[in-house]
């Protein structure tokens, strides 16, 4: 996929999604991308990120070295890619879905009640 290498830098989610679609189409991989399978791939990638941090102390995780930071960026990128593929497959607008969810969260966790607490909302 030499086109990717010479391509200008991607600057929007739509451009990235177009690249992802092209990548899957060239490999005839769309047939494997049922939402069920994509949810599995997304969880697998999320756990590869988790793996990086599993034996680290929280304080260490705040200042990873360059090599570790690069691994984190790669795994996070994979998670993001599967988010986009899933949203594309089910025609979900990710930004709008996130905005709606934040509005729900704002009601579930009123700032004055939960300030500085890590308790779950069910405990309020």
Q: Tell me the closest approach of the beta carbon of residue 95 to a copy of itself, in angstroms.
A: 5
Binding to a copy of itself in span 84-113, by CB under 8 A: 86-87, 89-90, 92, 94-106, 109, 111
Q: Are 113 and 124 in contact (CB under 8 A)?
A: yes
Rounded to an integer, what distance in angstroms lies between the CA atom of residue 122 and that of residue 21?
40
Q: Supply 92's token pair.
A: 């979900």
Q: Tell me the closest approach of the beta carbon of residue 110 to a copy of itself, in angstroms.
A: 8
Rounded to an integer, what distance in angstroms lies between the CA atom of residue 62 and that of residue 84?
27
Q: Tell me the closest approach of the beta carbon of residue 61 to a copy of itself, in angstroms.
A: 4
Q: Are 19 and 88 in contact (CB under 8 A)?
A: no
According to CB under 8 A, which one of 18, 77, 121, 124 is a site residue for a copy of itself?
77
Interface with a copy of itself, residue 65, by CB under 8 A: no
According to CB under 8 A, which one of 65, 66, 118, 122 is a site residue for a copy of itself?
118
Q: Supply 72's token pair.
A: 């984190």
């Amino acid at each position: 996929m030499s086109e990717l290498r010479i391509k200008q830098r991607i600057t929007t989610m739509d451009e990235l999604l177009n690249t992802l679609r092209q990548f899957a189409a060239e490999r005839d991989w769309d047939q494997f991308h049922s939402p069920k399978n994509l949810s599995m791939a997304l969880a697998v990638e999320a756990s590869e990120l988790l793996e990086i941090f599993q034996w680290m102390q929280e304080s260490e995780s705040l200042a990873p070295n360059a090599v570790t930071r690069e691994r984190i960026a790669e795994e996070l990128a994979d998670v993001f890619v599967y988010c986009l593929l899933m949203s594309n497959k089910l025609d979900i607008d990710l930004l709008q879905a996130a905005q709606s969810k934040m509005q729900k969260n704002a009601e579930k966790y009123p700032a004055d009640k939960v300030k500085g607490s890590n308790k779950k909302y069910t405990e309020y």
